[in-house]
A and B are shown apart, each in its own frame.
Chain A
């Protein structure tokens, strides 16, 4: 390992630990642990939300896919960005007004079912662990390559750090780590884009001209279809990106970290304005890499193009810039997995332990203690899973995560908020059918069933890599059929009226938040 990388990596570790240390005094109550005591303002929370989206997958992955396949990589950027409109218009404010820390809280405002709460919590845990596994495997490989540390050691380092941040710093530390990382990431993307653009004489037209000659695709590099040629597959990817990323648990749990719905709205709005320009800049990074690094070198570097940005930094700025970008990539991975650990632990400690096992009788200290213990447990479990998963197909994990989030969570969220007739049976049926459909279709699809290198050496029974096109409608259908086959509970109509009042007029919110708002 060379000196600049060592210094930058240590700076990231020391900086984030310092943040955790200063946040450690403020993790005494569940509100502080899960929701940073509603202390964050709109802009801070917005930067943190944006940070959750700018995961290693989008910073390294999108730029890499654009560099290798041109237009098809940009589909991911549009999908992630537009999904924010769904959050902003349909989900953010209602969910904030309805719930306290988790999605299950919000749904519990309409349905008292313990079974449903348990189901939502298990689903959230499943999504978090799958996604975390994908990030950890990617992270391990990346750090192994950048720093020449052994894969298993790299996973251990990331796992220990993420658990430390959550256990000692709670949501406050998680958010500030995310905020600092977002600013670093934006700055480095901006600088790299400027350098790339200067190499093309500050002309976007010139850039398009040059990349159309730089790759073996030639002119076709600028046309859609280099990675995905089947229109159904493309449509399915569009659907999964749009609907899946708007229901990822670590994004949803950020909607609860501020004091009122207006601030939630402001946060999402800030996030859109950060993410939008960021994704536009990924075009420069991708094209820059394909023109200056060269197609063969990118392809041979492996990791599905995940090393593209660091290779680009190496060509443009040498060792120093590479070290800086690698450290930023490291911080990115750390911050995102930390958010995932926190949402997983809140699903377990808040929904399963406090509500289902202790039936709301647990004291505040007990709740925080359990939350911390479950963070340790989740951190260790995912670390242990990731250590033996070096060869695992990350693409499968990611498409599974998005499919489960979109097919099982979205029908539940939208129907709870906007459908008067919706019943608890519909909620359970919708979640179960969405979950089963997405798991089954991924298992029957080409990522798992592959005659050459799949888990099941057999020709795929289901054609699509991304099952969203089929599994999302199944989830909605399950919710609709379940609802129509059951009768609404007595008083459901009045209860929905109250929920509507809460959602749209902010009436009858928990007094707790108001109290905290005055204190803060």
Chain B
């Protein structure tokens, strides 16, 4: 009973797409499958990217605290490892952002397919 009421509430708010999908089992599977695929890929990609930059970011202060001598070794003129790391971090930020912009096009395409599948499921 309360479940029915809920569903009505969701429909009212225009959020009933998933529940409506249950009525047409053949197509419903397609949009659900595509969306699950999109979520899985996005999650994996973004976790790898986030872990990368977080590691590089927090490793710098940790290394400075743990092995200060190594980080203060001059590598280019008077420029020390810490400075090179910090500048490299800036360049890495630009690189990761650019990589994501490329990758996001794939996600967009997949999202469009999900939207298309949903639309065709709503028509009949």
Cα(A491)–Cα(B9), bound, Å: 9
- Find out whether the CB atom of A504 lies under 8 angstroms from the CB atom of B35: yes
B3 contacts which chain A residues (CB < 8 A)? 490
- Find out whether the CB atom of A495 lies under 8 angstroms from the CB atom of B57: no
Cβ of A18 within 8 Å of any chain B Cβ, yes or no, is no
Q: Specify the main secondary structure of chain B where it touches its partner.
A: helix
1/0 per residue B4-38: CB within 8 Å of A?
00110110001101110000000000000001001
- Find out whether the CB atom of A82 lies under 8 angstroms from the CB atom of B57: yes
B17 touches which of A88, A266, A491, A498 (Cβ 8 Å):
A498
> Which one of A242, A276, A494 has the highest number of Cβ atoms from chain B below 10 Å of its Cβ?
A494
1/0 per residue B39-77: CB within 8 Å of A?
100100010011001000110111011001001100011
Within 8 A of A (CB), among B73-99: 76-80, 82-83, 86-87, 89-91, 93-94, 96-98
A88 contacts which chain B residues (CB < 8 A)? 97, 100
A75 contacts which chain B residues (CB < 8 A)? 61, 86
Cα(A221)–Cα(B68), bound, Å: 14
Known interface pairs A222-B80, A507-B17. Does A89 touch B100 (Cβ–Cβ under 8 Å)?
yes
Q: Contact residue range for chain B?
A: 35 or more
A505 touches which of B7, B68, B114 (Cβ 8 Å):
B114
A224 contacts which chain B residues (CB < 8 A)? 64, 68, 71-72, 82
- Find out whether the CB atom of A223 lies under 8 angstroms from the CB atom of B72: yes
A84 contacts which chain B residues (CB < 8 A)? 93, 97
Cβ of A205 within 8 Å of any chain B Cβ, yes or no, is yes
> Which one of A81, A269, A501 has the highest number of Cβ atoms from chain B below 10 Å of its Cβ?
A501
- Name which of A185-193, A230-238, A458-466 contacts chain B: A230-238
Within 8 A of B (CB), among A161-195: none
Report the minimum CB–CB distance from B30 to chain A (whole Å).
14
B58 touches which of A204, A209, A238, A272 (Cβ 8 Å):
A238
A234 (CB) vs chain B CBs: closest residue: B61
- Find out whether the CB atom of B86 lies under 8 angstroms from the CB atom of A498: no
A85 contacts which chain B residues (CB < 8 A)? 49-50, 53, 93, 96-97
B93 contacts which chain A residues (CB < 8 A)? 81-82, 84-85, 272, 276
B58 contacts which chain A residues (CB < 8 A)? 235, 238
A86 (CB) vs chain B CBs: closest residue: B50
- Find out whether the CB atom of A279 lies under 8 angstroms from the CB atom of B97: no
Cα(A27)–Cα(B57), bound, Å: 42
Within 8 A of B (CB), among A258-278: 262, 265-266, 268-269, 272-273, 276
Cβ of A500 within 8 Å of any chain B Cβ, yes or no, is yes
- Find out whether the CB atom of A235 lies under 8 angstroms from the CB atom of B18: no
Cβ of A122 within 8 Å of any chain B Cβ, yes or no, is no
Report the minimum CB–CB distance from A276 to chain B (whole Å).
5
Report the minimum CB–CB distance from B45 to chain A (whole Å).
9
- Find out whether the CB atom of A494 lies under 8 angstroms from the CB atom of B10: yes
1/0 per residue A196-213: CB within 8 Å of B?
000000001110110010
> Which one of B6, B80, B90, B94 has the highest number of Cβ atoms from chain A below 10 Å of its Cβ?
B90
Cα(A505)–Cα(B32), bound, Å: 12
A269 contacts which chain B residues (CB < 8 A)? 97-98, 101
Cα(A225)–Cα(B69), bound, Å: 13
- Find out whether the CB atom of A501 lies under 8 angstroms from the CB atom of B18: yes
Cα(A82)–Cα(B93), bound, Å: 6
B18 (CB) vs chain A CBs: closest residue: A497
B98 (CB) vs chain A CBs: closest residue: A269
B42 touches which of A222, A276, A504, A506 (Cβ 8 Å):
A504
Cα(A266)–Cα(B86), bound, Å: 25
Cβ of A71 within 8 Å of any chain B Cβ, yes or no, is yes
Cα(A498)–Cα(B9), bound, Å: 13
Known interface pairs A78-B90, A491-B6, A494-B19. Does A71 touch B82 (Cβ–Cβ under 8 Å)?
yes
B45 (CB) vs chain A CBs: closest residue: A89
Known interface pairs A234-B65, A500-B39. Does A90 touch B18 (Cβ–Cβ under 8 Å)?
no
* Subset of 27 A-B contacts with CB under 8 Å: A78-B89, A82-B89, A88-B97, A89-B49, A90-B50, A204-B77, A204-B79, A206-B77, A208-B77, A212-B78, A222-B78, A231-B64, A234-B65, A235-B61, A265-B101, A268-B97, A276-B93, A276-B94, A491-B6, A498-B17, A500-B39, A501-B17, A504-B38, A505-B114, A506-B111, A506-B115, A507-B17
Query: What 17 additional pairs, Cβ within 8 angstroms, besides A224-B64, A225-B64, A494-B15?
Result: A74-B86, A75-B86, A85-B49, A85-B97, A205-B79, A208-B79, A222-B80, A223-B68, A231-B61, A235-B61, A268-B97, A272-B94, A273-B97, A280-B90, A495-B10, A505-B38, A506-B115
Closest 10 CB pairs of A and B: A205-B77, A231-B65, A491-B6, A208-B78, A498-B15, A505-B111, A505-B114, A272-B97, A234-B61, A497-B18
